């Protein structure tokens, strides 16, 4: 009954928003006219609404964009958000909504039991720009229903907010990423719906220091992860920018038996543009993490040198690293200070029909609700390719190594997760698409007793999915 009510609600939202979207539809432009001033009318794609079903699912956007249609990315290396390849010119206000229904065969959520999993959910994305303001609102959520293991039924919700204000040489950005899910976000198939891992794209990507991190599997238990951040940028000169950033992260489990954590952070960075494509930055970062009901506390001081390269519409690359001093308080024999290192890299590369991303992070996390702090290495990649206007495919893979900072005798000292998947999508007209997906997930290196209620399963989990997606056509206002 709960599942049916959710499905009816999502369809009702689609019908109500369809009228709004159609009313906002821009009139057809005469591309044979020549414009003056700043009017971008030399390319007919400039004045055409974005193709249906684009943007929220990998491989659906089959319309390659000319670099002349892209507004250059204006992030700097010291910001909380990653560098990007730019955004579409001419789409000042975009509203996109979608509903997806999936049917999966899930072998592994309960070891030795083959489950059928039905999921219904939706996404909504608002990207609005006016005057000196830029607003992003995003929601992705739904309900997963399992048979015969109905005790695994759960809902998931992802909410993203970002607001930018520019005034002369100043930029102020505030944002929040909130996730409610029954499993860790890195390889948790249930945090985006079975079989949809790697397909739903969150519109803002954050530098890792803002998040408490979930890179270890647990039992299927609902948890809330919140990452709030703010940036203030000031352009000292046309080449030089100073940035002040602050962040707050929290991980809270709705059932006892796991380790809740909170994390505060701040940093200051000085960016210098070497040329229109390349830049460097010097960054100092402070972070402090604590654990609810426990006296343990972690502190870190990180000094980084960063390099970035941006080619509008094609490439966004950044890399940063440096020495890190770590202080542990009330950790027993592990208490005290030590010298380590932190590093981060992110790459986004677009060809005419292929998109590629690669991310790497090494640093401290709050332990994902399993450890009281962990040293983490994580690498993740995605590749998507458009074979034609109607056919596209994507691949995704991730691996995470987690070392317990303060293991007790006989307890779990490390936990590693690996995941990989593939997706094939076929557009069905202007509003529908059909997807076939396969996902593999496994937790490795789990040796010793679990320090919390449940450290997940080590048996492989495999999920095969068929998904139907129904999109409204995004609306762009000139």
Summarised one tens digit per residue, pLDDT across range 412-470 is: 888 899 999 999 999 998 889 999 999 999 988 777 888 999 888 788 999 999 999 89
- Where do the H-state alpha helices sit in 411-474? none
pLDDT of residue 458: 81
Distance between CA atoms of residues 301 and 323, nearest Å:
8
Closest alpha carbon to 183 in 151, 234, 225: 225
Distance between CA atoms of residues 323 and 339, nearest Å:
7
pLDDT over 90 for what percent of the chain?
56
Whether the pLDDT of residue 141 is over 50: the answer is yes
Closest alpha carbon to 192 in 140, 127, 267, 269: 140
Whether the pLDDT of residue 478 is over 50: the answer is no
Which pLDDT band, with edges at 50, 70 and 90, does 86 fall under?
A: confident
What lies within 8 Å, CB to CB, of 48 at 6+ separation is 29
Structural domains in the chain plus CATH codes: 2-471 (2.40.160)
Contacts of 167-171 with CB under 8 Å at 24 or more apart are 167/132, 169/234, 169/235, 169/236, 170/232, 170/233, 170/234, 170/235, 171/74, 171/231, 171/232, 171/233, 171/234
Q: In the chain, what is the straight-line distance between the N-terminal and C-terminal CA atoms, in Å?
A: 43
SS3 367: coil
Distance between CA atoms of residues 211 and 226, nearest Å:
8
What lies within 8 Å, CB to CB, of 403 at 6+ separation is 374, 375, 376, 413, 414
CB burial of 287-298 (b: ≥16 within 10 Å; e: otherwise) equals bebbbeeeebbb
Distance between CA atoms of residues 447 and 95, nearest Å:
48
Whether the pLDDT of residue 61 is over 60: the answer is no
Closest alpha carbon to 393 in 50, 60, 56: 60
Whether the pLDDT of residue 197 is over 70: the answer is no
What lies within 8 Å, CB to CB, of 301 at 6+ separation is 284, 285, 286, 324, 325
Alpha-carbon Rg for the chain in angstroms: 23
Question: Comparing 83-97, 131-145, 213-227, 302-316, which segment has the lowest mean pLDDT?
Answer: 83-97
Which pLDDT band, with edges at 50, 70 and 90, does 19 fall under?
A: very low
Distance between CA atoms of residues 141 and 393, nearest Å:
23
Question: Comparing 40-49, 77-86, 419-428, which segment has the lowest mean pLDDT?
Answer: 40-49
* Interior angle at CA 287, CA 286 and CA 293, nearest 5: 150
Distance between CA atoms of residues 283 and 305, nearest Å:
6
pLDDT of residue 32: 38
Distance between CA atoms of residues 208 and 342, nearest Å:
11
Neighbours of 236 (CB within 10 A): 12
Whether the pLDDT of residue 198 is over 70: the answer is no
pLDDT over 70 for what percent of the chain?
78
The DSSP element (H or E) to which 231 belongs, if any, is strand 223-235
pTM of the model: 0.82
Q: Which residue has the higher pLDDT, 409 or 220?
A: 220
Question: Comparing 22-31, 192-201, 209-218, which segment has the lowest mean pLDDT?
Answer: 22-31
SS3 67: helix
SS3 474: coil
Neighbours of 426 (CB within 10 A): 14
Distance between CA atoms of residues 46 and 49, nearest Å:
8
- What's the mean pLDDT in 269-274? 98
């Amino acid at each position: 009954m709960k599942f049916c009510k959710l499905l009816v609600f999502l369809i009702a939202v689609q019908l109500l928003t369809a009228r709004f979207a159609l009313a906002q539809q821009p009139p057809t432009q005469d591309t044979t006219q020549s414009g003056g001033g700043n009017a971008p009318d030399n390319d007919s794609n400039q004045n055409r609404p974005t193709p249906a079903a684009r943007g929220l699912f990998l491989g659906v956007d089959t319309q390659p964009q000319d670099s002349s249609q892209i507004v250059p990315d204006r992030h700097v290396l010291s910001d909380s958000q990653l560098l990007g390849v730019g955004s579409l010119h001419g789409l000042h206000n975009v509203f996109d909504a979608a509903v997806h229904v999936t049917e999966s065969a899930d072998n592994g959520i309960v070891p030795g039991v083959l489950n059928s999993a039905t999921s219904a959910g939706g996404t909504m994305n608002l990207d609005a720009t006016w005057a000196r303001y830029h607003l992003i609102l995003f929601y992705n959520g739904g309900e997963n229903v399992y048979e015969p293991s109905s005790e695994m039924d759960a809902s998931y919700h992802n909410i993203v907010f970002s607001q930018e204000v520019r005034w002369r040489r100043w930029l102020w950005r505030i944002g929040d990423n909130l996730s409610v899910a029954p499993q860790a976000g890195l390889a948790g198939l249930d945090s985006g719906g079975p079989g949809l891992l790697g397909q739903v794209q969150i519109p803002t990507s954050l530098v890792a220091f803002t998040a408490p991190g979930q890179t270890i599997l647990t039992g299927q238990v609902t948890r809330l992860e919140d990452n709030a951040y703010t940036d203030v940028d000031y352009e000292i000169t046309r080449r030089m920018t100073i940035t002040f950033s602050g962040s707050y992260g929290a991980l809270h489990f709705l059932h006892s038996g796991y380790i809740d954590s909170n994390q505060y952070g701040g940093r200051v960075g000085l960016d210098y543009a070497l040329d229109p494509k390349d830049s460097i930055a010097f960054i100092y970062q402070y972070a402090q993490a604590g654990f609810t009901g426990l006296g343990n506390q972690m502190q870190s001081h990180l000094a980084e040198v960063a390099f970035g390269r941006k080619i509008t519409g094609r490439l966004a690359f950044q890399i940063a690293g440096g020495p890190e001093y770590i202080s542990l308080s009330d950790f027993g024999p592990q208490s005290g200070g030590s010298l380590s290192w932190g590093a981060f890299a992110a790459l986004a590369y677009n060809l005419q029909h292929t998109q590629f991303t690669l991310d790497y992070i090494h640093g401290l996390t709050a332990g994902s609700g399993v450890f009281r702090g962990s040293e983490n290495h994580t690498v993740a990649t995605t590749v998507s390719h458009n074979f034609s206007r109607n056919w596209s495919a994507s691949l995704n893979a991730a691996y995470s190594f987690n070392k317990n900072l303060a293991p007790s005798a006989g307890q779990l000292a490390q936990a590693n997760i690996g995941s990989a998947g593939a997706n094939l999508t076929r557009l069905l007209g202007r509003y529908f698409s059909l997807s076939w997906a396969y996902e593999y997930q496994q937790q490795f290196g789990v040796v010793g007793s679990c320090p919390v209620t449940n450290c997940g399963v080590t048996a492989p989990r495999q999920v095969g999915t068929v998904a139907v997606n129904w999109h409204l056509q995004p609306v762009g206002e000139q």
